[in-house]
Chains A and B, each alone.
Chain A
Amino acid sequence: MTLQARQISKAYGVQRVLDRLTLSVDAGEVVCLLGPNGAGKTTLILTLSGLQKPDSGEVLWDGQAAGASALKLRRSIGLILHQPFLYEHLTGCENLRFYSLLYETGHSEADLRKLMGRVGLANARPIPVRGFSRGMKQRLTIARALLCDPRVLLFDEPYTGLDQQGCGMLNQLVQEENARGKLILLTTHELSFIRQIATRFDVLHRGKIADSIPNDGISLDLLQEHYNTVVSAGGTRQKELA
Chain B
Amino acid sequence: MRAWLHSVRVLVWKDLLQEWRSRDIVTSMLAFAVLSLFIFNYALELSPINRAEIAPGIIWVVMVFAGTLGLNRSFTAEQDQGCFEGLMMAVPDLSAIYFAKLLTNMLMMIFLAVLVIPIYSLLYNQSLFNWAFLGVLGLGAWGYSAAGTLISSMTVQTRMRDLLLPVLLFPLLLPVNMAVVKSCGVLLGTVAGQDIRGWLNLLLVYDAVVTTLSLLVFEYVIQE
Q: Which residues of A contact B (CB under 8 A)?
A: 49, 51, 53, 71-72, 74-75, 77, 79, 81-90, 94, 98-99, 101-104, 128, 144, 148
A102 and B7 form a contact (CB under 8 A): yes
Q: Inside 8 A of A77's CB, which chain B residues have their CB?
A: 89
A84 and B82 within 8 A (CB): yes
A-binding residues in B (CB < 8 A): 3, 6-7, 10-11, 13-14, 17-18, 21-22, 77, 80-83, 85-94, 223
Measured CA separation A94–B17 after assembly (Å)? 10
Q: With A89-B18, A90-B17 in contact, do A81 and B82 touch (Cβ < 8 Å)?
A: yes
* Given contact pairs A101-B10, A128-B21, A144-B86, A88 touches B92 in the complex (Cβ within 8 A): no
- The complex places the Cα of A87 from the Cα of B80 at a distance, in Å, of 9
Chain B residues in 8 Å Cβ range of A94: 17
Indicate if the CB atoms of B85 and A81 lie closer than 8 Å: yes
Complex alpha-carbon distance, A89 and B25, angstroms = 13
Pairwise interchain contact A88-B77, C-beta atoms closer than 8 A: yes
User: Top 7 nearest A-B pairs by Cβ distance?
Assistant: A83-B82, A85-B86, A89-B21, A102-B90, A101-B10, A89-B18, A89-B22
Are the CB atoms of B87 and A87 closer together than 8 Å?
A: no
SS of B interface (majority)? helix
B86 touches A99 (CB 8 A): yes
The residue on A at minimum CB distance from B79 is A83
A44 CB → nearest B CB, Å: 15
Are B82 and A98 in contact, with the CB atoms below 8 A?
no
Are A87's CB and B83's CB within 8 A? yes
A87/B77 in contact, CB under 8 A: yes
Asked if residues A75 and B92 are in contact (CB atoms below 8 Å), the reply is yes
Give every chain B residue within 8 A of A86 (Cβ-Cβ). Answer: 81, 83
Residue of B7, B18, B85, B86 with most chain A CB atoms under a 10 A cut-off: B86
Contact B85 A85 (CB under 8 A): yes
Return 14 A-B CB contacts under 8 Å, by A number. A72-B92, A74-B88, A77-B89, A79-B85, A79-B89, A81-B82, A85-B85, A87-B81, A88-B77, A88-B81, A89-B21, A102-B11, A102-B90, A102-B91
Residues on B with beta carbons closer than 8 Å to the beta carbon of A99: 86, 90
- Indicate if the CB atoms of B17 and A85 lie closer than 8 Å: no
Chain B residues with CB under 8 Å of A148's CB are 90
Closest chain A CB from B125 CB (angstroms): 39
Provide the residues of chain B in CB contact with A51, threshold 8 Å: 85, 88-89
Quote the shortest CB–CB distance from A95 to chain B (angstroms): 9
Q: How far is the CA of A119 from the CA of B25 in the complex (A)?
A: 33
Least CB distance, B124 to chain A, in whole angstroms: 36
Given A90-B14, A102-B87, are A85 and B22 neighbors across the interface (CB < 8 Å)? Answer: no
Tell me how far the C-beta of A70 lies from the nearest C-beta in chain B, rounded to whole angstroms.
10
Partner of A90, one of B21, B80, B93: B21
A104–B89 CB distance below 8 A: no
Contact A103 B90 (CB under 8 A): yes
Chain A residues whose C-beta falls within 8 Å of the C-beta of B89 in the assembled complex: 49, 51, 74-75, 77, 79
| Distance to closest chain A CB from B31 (angstroms) | 19
Contact of A104 with B6 in the complex, beta carbons under 8 Å:
yes
Q: Determine the chain B residues whose CB is within 8 A of the CB of A87 once the complex forms.
A: 14, 18, 77, 81, 83
